[in-house]
Structure 1
Amino acid sequence: MTVVEAVEGAAPTKPAWRGGFGRLWTAAVVSRFGDALRTAALPLLATTLTSDPFLIALVTACGYVPWLLFGLLGGAIADRVDQRRAMWAVDILRGALMAAFAVAVATGHASLVLLMVLAFTLTSLGTLFDNAATALLPSLVPRGALGSANARVMTGQQIAGGFLAAPLVPVLLAVSAAAPYGVDAASYVLAAALVASLRPSAPERAPRKPGSTLRAETAEGLRTLWADRALRGLCAATTVCNIGMGALIATLVLHITGWLGAGQSGYAAAITAYGAGSVAGGLIAQRLARRFGRIRAVLIAGIVQTGALAAIGTVRVLGVAVAALALFGLMGMVWNVNLTTLTQERSPAAMLGRVSAAFRTLAVAGAPLGALAGGAAAASWGLNTPALLASGLFVVAVAALIPARRA
């Protein structure tokens, strides 16, 4: 075991719920709850405006593009500004946009173009918010508590989005077509108030060089990511994994309802199993990190996920697919918790926003590419081939993690 992994495996402290972390956790969970309502309701609204599958898919694509265009810029800005103020200001703006959209839906003025503009704008603002949130957490909890804090935030968000918000969407839609968007707007305002009340310790930042530009600072973040062997390997592995994830997610409904012949109830069971596995993963992520070290925990997660994908693509039994998706979600959360914590631990405090942005941007780029590849594979070789394609890509990702473990 390397010195780094010995430190990683040391027993961490737990974050205190009182004070800043508890409010940040609540803000993150409330915001995810509102986002899940909107994410579930928007496609349904889109189908009432058009029957063209390409146009409906374009609404989803508008939620990916901003990360590719502005993700790096959002990280550079997050390192320049007061992260707390940036977060609550962004949430106030997003809340105002959602409130206006709710009014448009209620008055019958929603259009497909408006949906695309909304998705693009919210994600563009999210590039600043998400990078600022990643950089803010280390100023609210002790360094040794970062892993536990990340696990609690991600688990809370998964419960709020997957188990609380999703069943509520039909209820809200029965009240009004605009209701999910109104609740989302309120969630942004509440989250903004919670974040505004935080009093984090100021990060240590060296004075900016005279004439320094956002472009130069963004490039510095990319160089820092590339120079760290562990983070470089983790970024490469995550990008490859997201290509596989894009292929799987884009065709999963066809895999379950078509190849397995399980219908909509089977698909609902599969999605529920994945969500339940993700919650369980948040509970064990720290235990695996303490037992094996963070990088090895990610490596173990990748190996198990590879096997789960292979089972999904080869065994034509719904029960096996459900169990495999639960295991896949469990290990996915282990991967995400330890990945985020490693980024926070290994990045210079003054550059965490930029390093996080570089990581996210490169990783997000893989998802739409994978969706296209998965669709082409399913059309050409069968509905189970995207899962097998994803399994092969995860093998490549695991191979990329081996040098990271030795860093």
Structure 2
Amino acid sequence: MRTATETPEAVTPDGRGFRPFWGYSALTNLQDGVLSAAGPLVVASLDRSPQAVASAVVAQQTPVFLFSLLAGALADRVSRRTMALAGNAVRIGGLGLLALAAAGGWISVPLVLGVLFALGTAECFVDASARSILPSIVPMAELGTANARLFGVSMTMQRMVGPVVGAWLVVLGLAVPYAGSALMLAAALVLFARIPLPPHEGVERHHGNPLRQVAADVAEGARYLWSNIPVRELAILVAVMNVSFGALAALLVFVGTERTGLGTGGYGALLTAMGVGGLLGMWVYPRVETRASASTLLRIGLVFEVATHLLLAVLSTGRVVPGGPVVVPSELFHHSAWVLVPWFVLFGIHEAVWGTISTTIRQRTVPSRLLGRVMASYSLAIIGGAVLGSALGGALGGWLGWERVFWATGALAAASLLWVWRRLPSIAHVEPVPA
């Protein structure tokens, strides 16, 4: 495979290779956001039980745990363009089926859940291929800026715009969000087909038992991740930090509704603030990248994340130390929106900058032939950590009370920071590898 700097189609984030990829990312993330809201809402319109509604989320997330490693192995084995096109074609077909079922009046909860599971499975393979494509169309020196722009549009479309659009489309009719999502993906495929890629990127020829070969590919990726110390330590850090953040995110609804003074709108205000911060992070990253080292930015981000847990602990309990006297004024205790909303804008910026740096490190460090498998492993660590954290947050909240959980998540985040502090320079300082 030729590297990005060796092929004439490889361009900067302002060139013709990145622009269609950015547009593709915008449309697919908009569709993801629409479906994240529409799936549970459509199920709720058919069955009001909490179990049925929650199962819509589970159906979309479970494929990540089942198929991420397989998808990563295939992304390194077959044409990444073909894999992305085929996966998105399956998604369009599934969405079309749901739209027809809703329009014809034969939609049901089992059908919705089954199709959502199929859509989540196809998305695993699409994401595995798409994550591995960027280094083929952007020079190594431009990866940070490119990733920042992708993070910005992803957070904006998936968290801010998509769920709102999805909720309103459900109001227009149960078929509308699925038909609209199918059209979004169709438009995204048109853009994806315009991305100039090296002619044989990721293609390998093998003979023998296919299942055994795929298992060997997955094992090779796992061995590389574990043997490469900076890559391994970054994976561990990402997983642990996502446990603490997953618990925070699971309980953030209580902070938004009971501490901001905005009632039920408080939770939405905090999520919107993070989305705005993510959009700003797309603009901030290229400016801070040239002024501070990656290790410095990672350290600042981790300190800020620990501070976020502790701020929520103080504002939720009214205490500056666990079990201490209540010292937070009542007005701030019950009306903290003026503190939390701007803080979560900053958190969104941190999330975009930190995510951009960690993604860029992986793309520059990992050889192209292993990139699909390693990126899939990271995706599994990110989502697995978040899901584990959500479950842990719920369990601790039922035992300790939701207000006290932030002390525990803050302690976990602080312990992770202390463990990785001295290691961050070696993690962040990587030399680009040949394809």
Partner of 2:176: 179
Quote the residue 2:265 is aligned against: 265
The residue that corresponds to 1:363 in the other structure is 382
Superposed, 1:89-128 pairs within 5 Å as 89-128=86-125
Answer yes or no: is the 8 Å Cα contact 1:132–1:353 preserved in 2: yes
Q: Which residue, 344, 347, 354 being the options, matches 1:335?
A: 354
**Which range moves more in the overlay, 40-49 or 255-264?**
255-264
Say if 1:67 and 1:331 are closer, same or farther in 2 by CA, change over 3 A. Answer: same
Please give the alpha-carbon distance, in whole angstroms, between the structure 2 residues aligned to 1:390 and 1:286: 31
SS of the aligned residue for 1:199 comes to: coil
Letter in 1 for 2:300: I
Structure 2 counterpart of 1:132: 129
Q: 1:290 matched to which residue of 2?
A: 290
| Cα distance in 1 for residues equivalent to 2:286 and 2:418 | 23
Separation of aligned partners in 2, 1:170 and 1:366: 28
Distance 1:170 1:350, change over 3 A: closer
Distance change >3 Å, CA 134–CA 314, structure 1 → 2 = same
Q: Is the 8 A contact 1:305 1:394 kept in 2?
A: yes
Contact persistence 2:77–2:204 (CA under 8 A) = no
- 1:351-389 per-residue CA deviation (whole Å, 9 max, x = no partner) reads 110111111112221122111111122222222234333
1:372 matches 2:369: no
SS of residue matched to 1:292: coil
Measured after TM superposition, the shift of residue 260 of structure 1 is 5.0
2:343 matched residue in structure 1: 324
Q: Separation in 1 of the partners of 2:24 and 2:221?
A: 27
Confirm or deny: 8 A CA contact 1:95 1:189 kept in the other structure: yes
Q: Is the 8 A contact 2:60 2:120 kept in 1?
A: yes
Instruction: Give the letter aligned to residue 399 of structure 2.
Output: S
Change in 2 beyond 3 A, CA 1:167/1:67: closer
Distance 1:108 1:399 in 2: 57
For residue 60 of structure 2, give the secondary structure of its aligned residue in structure 1: coil
> What percent of counterpart residues are identical?
29
Matching residue's letter, 1:405: P
Shift, 1:174, TM fit: 3.5
Task: Tell whether the 8 Å contact from 1:14 to 1:148 is kept in structure 2 after alignment.
Answer: no
1:243 aligns with 2:243: yes
C-alpha contact (below 8 Å) 1:203/1:350 kept by paired residues: no
Structure 1 contact 250–374 (Cα < 8 Å) conserved: yes
Gap change, CA 1:364 and 1:16, over 3 Å in 2: closer
CA distance in 2, matches of 1:173, 1:227: 48
Show the counterpart of 1:6. Answer: none
Distance (whole Å) between structure 1 residues aligned to residue 354 and residue 57 of structure 2: 25
Which string of whole-angstrom CA distances, capped at 9 and with x for unpartnered residues, describes residues 52-74 of structure 1? 22332222122222111111110
Pairing 1:39–2:36 present: yes
For the 8 Å contact 2:13–2:145, the answer to whether it is kept is: no
Any conservation in 2 of the 1:79–1:351 contact (CA below 8 Å)?
Answer: yes
Deviations 1:183-206 (A, max 9, x none): 111111111122122221246769
**Cα distance in 1 for residues equivalent to 2:261 and 2:108:** 35
SS of 1:62's equivalent? helix
From the superposition, tell whether residues 345 and 51 of structure 1 become closer, same or farther in structure 2 (CA, over 3 Å): same
User: Normalising to structure 2: TM-score of the pair?
Assistant: 0.85
Q: Give the aligned length.
A: 395
Aligned-residue Cα RMSD (Å) equals: 2.3
Shift of 1:120: 1.8
Equivalence map 1:70-219=2 (5 Å): 70-202=67-199, 211=208, 213-219=213-219
CA–CA distance in structure 2, aligned partners of residues 14 and 306 of structure 1: 38
Query: Secondary structure of the residue that 1:105 maps to in structure 2?
Result: helix
**Match among 413, 427, 430 for residue 394 of structure 1:** 413
Shift in CA distance, 286/393, structure 1 to aligned 2, threshold 3 Å: farther
Residue 382 of structure 1 is matched in structure 2 by 401
Q: Gapped runs of 5+ residues in structure 2?
A: 1-9, 316-332, 428-435
SS in 1 for 2:264: helix
Deviation at 1:208, TM superposition (A): 5.9
Larger Rg: 2
